[in-house]
A and B are shown apart, each in its own frame.
Chain A
Amino acid sequence: MAMEVTQILLNAQAVDGALRKQAEENLKQFQEQNLPSFLYSLAGELANDEKPAESRKLAGLILKNALDAKEQHRKIELVQRWLSLDPTLKAQIKALLLRTLSSPSVDARSTVSQVIAKVAGIELPHKQWPELIGSLLSNVHQLPAPTRQATLETLGYICEEVSPDVVDQDHVNKILTAVVQGMNSTEENNDVRLAAVRALYNALGFAQANFSNDMERDYIMRIVCETTLSPDVKIRRAAFECLVAISSTYYEKLAPYIQDIFNITAKAVKEDEEQVALQAIEFWSSICDEEIDILEEYGGDFSADSDIPCFYFIKQALSFLVPMLLETLLKQDEDQDQDEGAWNIAMAGGTCLGLVARTVGDDIVPLVMPFIQENISKPDWRQREAATYAFGSILEGPSPEKLEPLVTMALNFMLTALMKDPSNHVKDTTAWTLGRMFEFLHGTALDTPIITPANCQQIVTVLIQSMKDVPNVAEKACGALYFLAQGYEDAGSASSPLTPYFQDIVQALLTVTHREDAVESRLRTAAYEALNEVVRCSNDETAPMVVQLAPLIMLELHNTLENQKVSSDERQNELQGLLCGCLQVIIQKLGSSEPTKYHFMQYADQIMALFLRVFASRSATAHEEAMLAIGALAYATGPDFAKYMTEFYKYLEMGLQNFEDYQVCAITVGVVGDVCRALEEKILPYCDGIMTQLLKDLSSNQLHRSVKPPIFSCFGDIALAIGENFEKYLLYAMPMLQSAAELSAHTSGADDDMTEYTNSLRNGILEAYSGIFQGFKGSPKTQLLMPYAPHVLQFLDSLYMEKDMDDVVTKTAIGVLGDLADTLGSSAGPLIQQSVSSKDFLKECLSSDDHLIKESAEWAKLAISRAISF
């Protein structure tokens, strides 16, 4: 048998397709017929130094895939399968795996370290394989370098795989000790050192206790800093990666080391190879991220509390940091603007400069201005570009008062540069900088507008001209126009300075979308995005032009659908997505006011027919956009949307079944809500199908969890639309709501993400209850809901006791209390009076600062007072 496995594994990698297929089939059969023996054979193959490297490697890979999968439901299956295997067999397999760490074959060692980590990922949380860490640690101290390296890698993978709470502190201490010792300069083997540094990177999350201990932390930090000076570039880079990880995980512990770290990073930025210098810059970007978060939490009120204090590292290092970053700006690559994947030190430095500006605000301005003035007119394009980039970078962060005079002064210069500068690179950055000016310093909320009726025409003319430039420059010009339009978003129906140029702008953008090179540099996407924003910010005066735009975009969509018959490719689908997105924006805009809606409605039939044709393509993005647009159309159309339902229904069902592209599924669920509100009781004939699908979705473990809360909300939408006709679904929907409610009542011990998800789940469940109660209101069948009332009230009570609802959930929850009282009236009176929610919770909500919570609570109070007064 063993010989046979080797051959099959080799055949499975054969060039000959038939042979390969046969081998894959054999492996599948073997696995299905006798899983334990299959896994044991694979482990044996991997452990056997006599076997060919190729078969060993594939054996390890198949073994790894038998333990873990990307899809959550498959992963759970595999974990269960492994746990249920015979312990003796598993012990044998694990022994083979550990033995392989000492194999002379580098491939075998590197493969097995990953397999071991996968097994550990399953077993450690179940308190199995307790001896694993111990035996790995014993490897670290004695064995030859290759085994030490493989063992350290294994420890690293394990730390990546399992959560810190399944490894006890004693083991953590020993792992860290082993890893940090491996990093030490006394370790002569560079491969071992590198493995140790990478292991530390993964183990940092385990080191909470050790970082709280001054001595241990000093030791770890000293070794990490020393490692950044290693002669081996890979090790230096890995050490900086550790520093970056430490900066976000242990920000509050960094104060004693920040001076040293500044010196190390400054040296790396100046002299080291780019891959190391990039990490050194990333350290400061990461510190900026931390401080921006903390300062945001202060909310501008510096006496307020934040969980973590701000140490103002950036502010303190400012006068050294800024010159260092400005220096990097001059190291641009020749063609970085044409290369989507480019990332170099100039880009990293500029990005960091922008983050520094957001962190410190006004203080950065005097440090950057001399550099700009010095370089902006130099003959070398690098200097002009660096100066322009520096200016663009600091436009977010400092106060408008500080920036406005500078921007007003620079505006003309930039407009001229965009037209006249001989360097595409400079023009690209100039257009981007103009966009930043409009994004942050232009809008109805600002006191002194930088754009006036006097210079508006020139700006528009230059941008339109620039849209004819090379694709990357034209793309930035479209972006600038986007923000120019956005600045007038809040102007309401007041006349906008853009109005006279509206037609020209729309025409110019449409022309850009037709450029032959529009697919380069994301140009076409940028043009449609700008067009969308121009539509969103249109007003009463320009609305007629938006009405005229609709048939043009429809024609474009029609053309792509016709072309698709001939050939279908990704670009075609992307374009359909963009066009559907644009139509969605148009529908939403025109549908929001009665006169324009009236004009737009003449296109509704045609537009719907086009959307339905988009569903024939196989692109998830195009589906998503078409679905969103249909939702907007349903909202605008109202009850008349019924006429599209016969045709649309099958796509609605298809969307609800799309587990794979869960975004499409989620959006379809939202559109069901739109359709419910549009059709009201006319949705009834489709409800059996929709409800069946939604219930299936909820029971599936294949569907991404984020879709579940909106499905519950959708129950509420349906119930509200069809009222007492929801009766027939109560039997299925209510138990599902009930068990989901029980699961979501408690979040204890969950992390922030989980708590956020739980709250969105709660909100969905509560919205369902709200819709159901309100839907049944006034019906003779109200009493059907009575049996569910005790549970709903219990759910509200337990949410209140748990004290971790966010504002949205609080508002929905107190509303449900009112809905229950409103619909059930006096028959629920005694139940309501027994609930804590009707007293303490209601009282708290009544005195809430949140306008929406208070409003719901006042309403609930009234409804309850009725229910209990009868």
Chain B
Amino acid sequence: MAPHDLRRPFKRPLISDQEKRRQQSLLRQAQNRRDAQNHARFLASTALSLEQPHELEPEPELHDELIPDSEAPESPKELDVVEASKLKGAEARKWFAKQLMHPEWMIDIPENLSQDWFVFARPSGKRCFVVSCNGTTISRLRNGSILHRFPSELPNGARRKDSSGPAQSYSILDCIFHEVDQTYYVIDMVCWRGYSLYDCAAEFRFFWLNSKLAETGACEPPSHYHKYRFSLVPVYCCDQSGLCAAYTGSVPYVKDGLLFYNKHAHYQTGITPLALVWKDENCSQYVMDTDSKGQVPNQQQVVLELQEGGKLCTSDDPPVVFGCLDGGFMHESELHSGCLVRFAIGEGGLVLVDGKLEKADLNYLGKANRARASADSFSKVMFQYSVRHSPLRIDDLLGSVNSAADESNKVCDIEMDG
């Protein structure tokens, strides 16, 4: 029953700096724990990895030498992204230029197209990486240069007080900027609020993209704090109705072919056979390559890289060799290793044996335009070649999707009989 001490803090803040340090440490630890936990969750789970990965690779006999070694290329770790988000100028350009996932061209139909793949109509426009962080949003083209710097409703995409989560946490979207309606169409999600989705299957990335983007208000019309509208692209399972919807369905943007994404594939930088692009005249204005005047040349043209010993190579890793130049010709035309050289494919065409390029009839045209960053990929050359000779048609695709369904029906029947 001792009388109580009445004294209250006088001319003192209620919380001491020591207490503040303690609380901030606890906060940091809780945040780190959450990050570690989330990181673990976002790694492909056992359930997800059961079907990985060998049967997923389409037509291995054709692409053997093209399929990138899944171990070898430096897979961008989360840390790299954090660092990169702070890079500036040329360094940033260099880094971002390597970060996009690029589809191969579809020259054969993958197995299990209807089960393991998504399809969607690719918007026509500028492919770019959109990074929102620290109160600003920056879009970068595939060569790494900046397209726009603007405020957006993406997480930490504009300088506003109310954003949830730490201001440094970044989000990265893979987008196509569509000039006509000034809209960023989001085709993939790479990082969200600081969590890396690189190691997540496409199925999960699309799921996350669909549930998260709309929450932010980024899909709303432009406003003071939100300069460009973002929009989702309808993604379908690649069964018959999905494929039809993607091919014929009306979308608010100009289509440029169809993109096929393997559901189980992670976001892999560079060219990957687990994402494919296909097009015909009905779904793209640019089926056949045009020259600098916008005309389709009589003969197919290819750009190849001149390498040591005069070898003419594609941009693939490892490269496919199309032929060889002799030293005298190189000297005469002032060509040296590293040059990008333009050729026309002559009457002899391309000769394939067992899926491997045996012979190519190349006619020298000259050095490629300086703006070109790299040579054509093998799949691009082959796609362009097949467009001119025996194109892969939508009916072929639909057929493969149907026959897959038929097959599974058959299997089903047998089991029921047995």
Q: Does B265 contact A (CB under 8 A)?
A: no
CA distance A199 to B1 in the complex (A): 8
Q: Which residues of A contact B134 (CB under 8 A)?
A: 492-493
B33 at the binding interface (Cβ < 8 Å) = yes
CB of B296 within 8 Å of the partner chain:
no
Give me 10 other A-B pairs in contact (C-beta within 8 A), A628-B25, A670-B26, A821-B47 excluded: A350-B10, A351-B8, A581-B18, A593-B86, A595-B86, A777-B46, A782-B46, A822-B45, A862-B204, A870-B50
Contact surface of B with A, Cβ cutoff 8 Å = 1, 3-4, 6-8, 10-11, 13, 16-18, 21-22, 24-26, 28-29, 32-33, 36-37, 40-41, 43, 45-50, 82-83, 86, 134-135, 161, 164, 167, 204, 207-208, 211
- A149-193 contacts to B, CB under 8 A, are 153, 156-157, 160
Contact partner of B47 (CB less than 8 A), chosen from A348, A439, A867, is A867
Given contacts A825-B46, A862-B204, contact A716 B21 (CB under 8 A): no
Instruction: Please give, as numbers and ranges, the residues of chain B lying within 8 Å of A818 by CB-CB distance.
Output: 41
| Residues of chain A lying within 8 A (CB to CB) of residue B49 | 778
In order of increasing CB-CB distance, the 4 nearest A-B pairs are A529-B17, A774-B40, A866-B47, A825-B47
CB closest chain-B residue, reference A476:
B11
In the complex, A291 has a CB within 8 A of chain B: no
A720 pairs with B47, CB closer than 8 A: no
Could you tell me the distance in whole angstroms from the C-beta of A86 to the nearest C-beta in chain B?
32
Mark contacts of A565-604 with chain B using CB atoms, 8 A cut-off: 1 yes-contact digit, 0 otherwise.
0000000000001000100110010000111000000000
In the complex, chain A residues whose CB is within 8 Å of the CB of B10: 343, 347, 350-351
How many angstroms between the C-alpha atoms of A701 and B8 in the bound complex? 34
Q: Verify B33–A581 contact, CB threshold 8 A.
A: no
A343-B7, A492-B135, A677-B36 known; A863+B45 contact, CB < 8 A = yes
**A588–chain B nearest beta-carbon distance, Å:** 7
B21 touches A432 (CB 8 A): no
Q: Are B41 and A532 in contact (CB under 8 A)?
A: no
Contact across chains for B45 and A823 when beta carbons are under 8 A apart: yes
Which residues on A sit within 8 Å (CB–CB) of B167?
492
Distance in Å from the Cβ of A422 to the closest Cβ of chain B?
20
B42 shortest CB reach to chain A, Å: 9
A285 within 8 A of B: yes
Q: Is A383 part of the binding interface, using a Cβ–Cβ cutoff of 8 Å? A: no
Which of chain B's residues has its CB closest to A621's CB?
Answer: B18
**Contact across chains for A628 and B21 when beta carbons are under 8 A apart:** yes
Using CB atoms, name the residue of chain B closest to A778. B46
A697 close to B (CB within 8 Å): no
Tell me whether B211 and A858 are in contact (CB under 8 A).
yes
- In angstroms, Cα B49 to Cα A870, docked, is 13
Chain B residues near A866 (CB-CB < 8 A):
45, 47-48
> Which A residues fall within an 8 A CB radius of B?
153, 156-157, 160, 198-199, 201-202, 237-238, 241, 278-279, 282, 285, 343, 347-348, 350-351, 428-429, 432, 439, 445, 476, 479, 482, 490, 492-493, 525, 528-529, 532-533, 577, 581, 584-585, 588, 593-595, 621, 624-625, 628, 631-632, 635, 667, 670, 673-674, 677, 713, 716-717, 720, 767, 770-771, 774-775, 777-778, 782, 815, 818-819, 821-823, 825-826, 851, 858-859, 862-863, 866-867, 870
| Closest Cβ neighbor of B82 among chain A residues | A594
Chain B residues with Cβ under 8 A from A867's Cβ?
A: 47
Known: A198-B1, A347-B10, A492-B167. A774 touches B41 (CB 8 A): yes
Q: Which residues of A contact B47 (CB under 8 A)?
A: 821-822, 825-826, 863, 866-867, 870
Cβ-defined partner of A202 (8 Å) among B1, B25, B83, B164: B1
**Highest count of chain A CB atoms <10 Å: which of B43, B47, B50, B204:** B47
Closest to A577 in B: B18
Question: What CA separation (Å) do A493 and B85 show in the bound complex?
Answer: 14
- A588-B28, A674-B32, A866-B47 known; A720+B135 contact, CB < 8 A: no
- 18 pairs, A vs B, C-beta closer than 8 Å: A153-B1, A157-B1, A201-B1, A476-B11, A490-B161, A529-B16, A532-B17, A588-B28, A594-B82, A594-B86, A625-B18, A635-B28, A774-B37, A777-B40, A822-B47, A823-B45, A858-B208, A863-B47
Determine the residue in chain A with the shortest Cβ distance to B18. A581
Asked if B46 contacts A670 (CB within 8 A), the reply is no
The total of Cβ contacts below 8 Å across the A-B interface reads 140
Q: Do A631 and B25 contact each other (CB < 8 Å), given the known contacts A815-B37, A851-B164?
A: yes
Contacts of B24 in A (CB 8 A): 588
Contacts A201-B1, A282-B6 hold; do A720 and B36 have CB atoms under 8 A apart? yes
Residues B48 and A581 in contact, CB atoms below 8 Å apart: no
Q: How far is the CA of A766 from the CA of B167 in the complex (A)?
A: 28
Contacts of B208 in A (CB 8 A): 858
Neighbouring A residues of B13 by C-beta, 8 Å: 439, 479
Give bound CA distance, A279 to B45, whole Å. Answer: 64
Give, as a whole number of angstroms, the nearest-CB distance from A694 to chain B. 16
Cβ A777 vs Cβ B33 within 8 A: no
Q: Considering the chains assembled together, what is the distance between the CA atoms of A282 and B5 in angstroms?
A: 11
A584 to B48, CA, bound (A): 41
Q: Across the interface, do A670 and B29 meet the contact criterion of CB distance under 8 Å?
A: yes
Residue of A nearest to B204 (CB): A862
Chain A proximity of B31: nearest CB distance (Å): 10
Residues of A within 8 A of B22 (CB): 624, 628, 667
- Which residue of chain B has its CB nearest to the CB of A241? B3
Q: Determine the chain B residues whose CB is within 8 A of the CB of A581 once the complex forms.
A: 17-18, 21
Contacts of B82 in A (CB 8 A): 594
Docked CA distance A479–B9 (Å): 14
Chain A residues in 8 Å Cβ range of B26: 670
B259 nearest CB across to chain A (Å): 23
Distance between A781 CB and nearest chain B CB, rounded to angstroms: 12
A584 to B25, CA, bound (A): 9
Distance between Cα atoms of A428 and B11 in the complex (Å): 9
Asked if A673 meets B29 with Cβ closer than 8 Å, knowing A156-B1, A347-B10, the reply is yes
CB distance from B28 to the nearest CB of A (A): 7
Pick from B6, B7, B28, B43: contact of A279, CB under 8 Å: B6
The listed residue with most A CB atoms (<10 A of its CB), out of B40, B50, B134, is B40
Q: For B50, what are the chain A residues with a Cβ–Cβ distance below 8 Å?
A: 825, 870
Of chain A, the residue at the smallest CB distance from B207 is: A862
A716, B48: Cα distance in complex, Å: 23
Known pairs A241-B4, A674-B29; A584 contacts B46 (CB<8 A): no
- A445 nearest CB neighbor, chain B only: B161
Inter-chain contact B46/A822, CB cutoff 8 Å: yes
Q: How far is the CA of A717 from the CA of B207 in the complex (A)?
A: 28
Contact B40 A720, beta carbon cutoff 8 Å: yes
